[in-house]
Amino acid sequence: MLVNQLTDKGQVFIQEVIRSGLEIFQVSENNGVLSFIFRVVAKPGSKKETLFLDSEGRLVIALSAKPVGGEANKALLKILGKSLGISTSKIILEKGIKSKIKQFRVSFAFTDHKGQDYYLKKWNESFK
């Protein structure tokens, strides 16, 4: 989907995401819910939990959880949910369940309670 096929709120949000340097794809918007896919490089077993963008436009997440029994994937969902201000039910691990390089689909519902400004603030706080 091209950015100009999104609602005004969707366009503004996606343009900010692109401006941050994150590579996104498969952008869609249906009934006020904006979704897209992005890549994450997981670094499980790290001493300190951090998030940053690498030079390839991927989100790198260092997390303390070990990659045993799906614990690191569960921790990634929690970190992403908290950072993006969305429920973990709005985050889907699409590829890479046993790989360090993963693809997540995230969905943002623009409502009166959590609108475009809320999500942009969370995005900018997390990915400066």
pLDDT per residue over 48-88, tens digit each? 999 999 999 999 999 999 999 999 999 999 999 999 999 99
pLDDT value of residue 128: 64
DSSP state of 5: G
Cβ neighbourhood burial of 19 (10 Å; 0-12, 13-18, 19+): exposed
Cα torsion angle, 4, 28, 122, 57, sign = negative
What domain count does the chain have?
1
> What is the average pLDDT value for the chain, to the nearest integer?
91
Residue 15 — φ and ψ, nearest 5°? -60, -40
CB neighbours of 1 closer than 8 A, spacing ≥ 6? 26, 27, 28, 29
Q: Are 85 and 119 in contact (CB under 8 A)?
A: yes
pLDDT per residue over 22-39, tens digit each? 999 999 998 889 999 999
With a cut of 80, say whether residue 1 has pLDDT above it.
no
Range of the domain at 69: 3-126
Residue position matching structure tokens 């794809």: 25
pLDDT per residue over 108-124, tens digit each? 998 878 888 898 888 88
Radius of gyration of the chain (CA): 14
Among 6-15, 37-46, 86-95, the least confident range: 6-15
Here the CATH number for the domain that contains residue 101 is: 3.30.1200.10
pTM of the model: 0.90
